[in-house]
Structure 1
């Protein structure tokens, strides 16, 4: 038996788009935190060029700005660094004395950054030791010099916008009760726009002169991150959740310039109605023919399994949560685990979780009591259950084990990750070999292998998962779900539907 693979969505070339700024050449430069890249986009043609590749010195670019001489300044969020990329392409480290630097702005020959942490600072980095303009930021983010000569910046945690003179002083509250502010930007007419990081894609317009009147524009773009105006006052926005670049017109109409898509995806599951759900780092999402639809912005969703109206998800940062699709309520089932990844539901409703960092498999019952089903594994990545048994893939040892007796049921794999069991067949995503292998559990014979789309191996040096107490860049993994005689696999920036050849 063989399978034919088809993509359920088109991959986006910008898997998560963060800071954006127009460069001296008129192109829009896009920082991609998860991908570790910076790309240059021609808004007229949609042509993209990677100008800072993932194997360079910058690990986690989040925001960027251009200096008067054409140098690009980059906040490297997780390692806590700020870089200068000279016009000739050479890099200079500006500082490594900041914690989660995010917002960045150039004012002539002066450089300013802020920190995306509670109690963060706003700093000038023009030369020598960083100069603190102010502290107490409730998680700063994208900022800009206003027409009045002040620096404007958001407090993400408190829904406020402040301003401060570039030479320092007392911060002044500009606007309160702003919807989930993540970035402030000024149009050419001096109007202040504040982007929301929420699901509705709200942009708040604030008239700073006179009445301070506000108006809301709802773009429908989940997870806005940053924005830039071109010389014709056209607004282009990025999305940390959906990636891509979109032009937003004043009346709310949108034009996709670089296509949106998945940030991952990571885990995949299929509910009883046949709907495919994915855990896409910043959200739970459904792949559809023309788009990736956001079910809920649920940060750091990595493993996922459907259970009636419930979706159980894991986070590599230590949590197991249950999301109720009918009420949109989120319940934390466990926390402070060591890189939980794959998750399954037994017939008795108990959650089974692969705790990759601890080499264990856990059980979480209806009362959220956590117990250990197995330990001493190398790196358990995924779990699967059938009517009688539970199975776990061990990426480090190249094996899939039956947990009940610790017996290897299939082995010799090169980095097995996602697994699922259906109709007596074990399906294994063998990531080291770039394929899905199906094994008959009765005979232990390989039934079929299906090659996955080739992807260049990453040479990125990923920072720690948690830095300064905040999440870093997650480790990617390939998941597989069996449903209706076919398979669904997260790979190549999309979900692959593997259809048996006789049904293709």
Structure 2
């Protein structure tokens, strides 16, 4: 959500049904995991610890779940952190604004220090990421579209999509938030078919999203400051939380109904459903 760009022409897509069965949110329990003045962009869990992308601090940080910091690695403008099929953490870097996107961008692997895995001139601003059931990695670049890489890091395909941001997968179906969209759209991609799931006007500034243990999507909205629960197949949705300060990403602690939410305002929240 560091990217600020003009609204462009959207691709012609199928829209999800406007009249979907109702969905219920309930009231979560919320506590503060971390308070800072830094911009936290993304997160991932690994072996009972939490990794955070500190975008403004140009580093990734590892924490115990009691909030104690274990270590950090310097990395310029980190974006999404995701665990690969081999258990190794992959981290986007060069998640830049328009003014600095001429600098290198790509993906590193923590083995255990950051080593460039995808580099070169393919990506200009690596933002969201997720692995699918085959172990292929999808990376969003809001300036140029969505990219699919195989297990060796070779480019499989480029999906021409305007302003993709956060990414999750359910099996081999890909869901990506559209950063700038007048109807706050999520795009569901199955093979070559794209379906729009619209959360409604005005543009909420959809950032990242997570898949919950209930199979629903949990979407952070940078501009409107909400966490929205969405049925990925019908488009039905409700607001789980509001009044947040520029939430950027959410991720569930494996095997639980507890998610952690990062914010550009610096506070990381612990949300129990």
Settle same-fold status: TM greater than 0.5. Answer: yes
Larger radius of gyration, structure 1 or 2?
A: 1
Residue in 1 aligned with 2:268?
245
Query: Does residue 185 of structure 2 align to residue 160 of structure 1?
Result: yes
Task: Please report how far the alpha carbon of residue 90 of structure 1 lies from its aligned counterpart in structure 2 after TM superposition.
Answer: 5.1
Task: Extract unaligned runs of 5+ from structure 2.
Answer: 1-33, 97-102
- CA distance in structure 1 between the aligned counterparts of 2:159 and 2:137, rounded to whole angstroms: 15
Q: 1:89 to 1:71 in 2, by over 3 A?
A: same
Residue 69 of structure 1 aligns to a residue whose secondary structure is: coil
User: Structure 1-normalised TM-score?
Assistant: 0.42
- CA distance in structure 2 between the aligned counterparts of 1:111 and 1:213, rounded to whole angstroms: 27
Residue in 1 aligned with 2:118?
94
2:85 to 59, 68, 79: 68
- CA distance in structure 2 between the aligned counterparts of 1:232 and 1:106, rounded to whole angstroms: 20
Q: 1:129 to 1:67 in 2, by over 3 A?
A: closer
The runs of at least 4 consecutive aligned structure 1 residues that moved more than 6 Å come to none
Residue in 2 aligned with 1:221?
244
- CA distance in structure 1 between the aligned counterparts of 2:218 and 2:175, rounded to whole angstroms: 11
Residue 48 of structure 2 aligns to a residue whose secondary structure is: coil
Backbone CA RMSD of aligned residues: 2.3
CA contact (8 A) 1:219 1:248 kept: no
Q: 1:12 to 1:204 in 2, by over 3 A?
A: closer
Residue in 2 aligned with 1:111?
137
1:301-347 deviations in Å (ceiling 9; x for gaps): xxxxxxxxxxxxxxxxxxxxxxxxxxxxxxxxxxxxxxxxxxxxxxx
Task: Please report how far the alpha carbon of residue 225 of structure 1 lies from its aligned counterpart in structure 2 after TM superposition.
Answer: 0.1
Higher relative contact order (CA 8 A, sep 6+): 2
- CA distance in structure 1 between the aligned counterparts of 2:154 and 2:185, rounded to whole angstroms: 29
- CA distance in structure 2 between the aligned counterparts of 1:59 and 1:196, rounded to whole angstroms: 24
Residue 101 of structure 1 aligns to a residue whose secondary structure is: coil
Task: Please report how far the alpha carbon of residue 170 of structure 1 lies from its aligned counterpart in structure 2 after TM superposition.
Answer: 2.6
1:19-98 equivalence runs, <5 A: 19-23=42-46, 25-43=47-65, 45-52=66-73, 54=74, 58-76=75-93, 77-78=95-96, 79-89=103-113, 91-96=115-120, 97-98=122-123
1:126-275 equivalence runs, <5 A: 126=150, 127=152, 129-137=154-162, 139-146=163-170, 149-158=172-181, 159-165=184-190, 168-177=191-200, 179-199=204-224, 201-208=225-232, 212-230=235-253, 231-240=255-264, 242-250=265-273
- CA distance in structure 1 between the aligned counterparts of 2:130 and 2:173, rounded to whole angstroms: 11
- CA distance in structure 2 between the aligned counterparts of 1:112 and 1:128, rounded to whole angstroms: 10
- CA distance in structure 2 between the aligned counterparts of 1:163 and 1:197, rounded to whole angstroms: 20
Task: Please report how far the alpha carbon of residue 203 of structure 1 lies from its aligned counterpart in structure 2 after TM superposition.
Answer: 1.3
- CA distance in structure 1 between the aligned counterparts of 2:231 and 2:35, rounded to whole angstroms: 35
Task: Extract unaligned runs of 5+ from structure 1.
Answer: 1-10, 251-504
CA contact (8 A) 2:118 2:153 kept: no
Q: 1:100 to 1:232 in 2, by over 3 A?
A: same
Task: Please report how far the alpha carbon of residue 176 of structure 1 lies from its aligned counterpart in structure 2 after TM superposition.
Answer: 4.3
Task: Please report how far the alpha carbon of residue 140 of structure 1 lies from its aligned counterpart in structure 2 after TM superposition.
Answer: 1.6
User: Structure 2-normalised TM-score?
Assistant: 0.74
Task: Please report how far the alpha carbon of residue 212 of structure 1 lies from its aligned counterpart in structure 2 after TM superposition.
Answer: 4.0
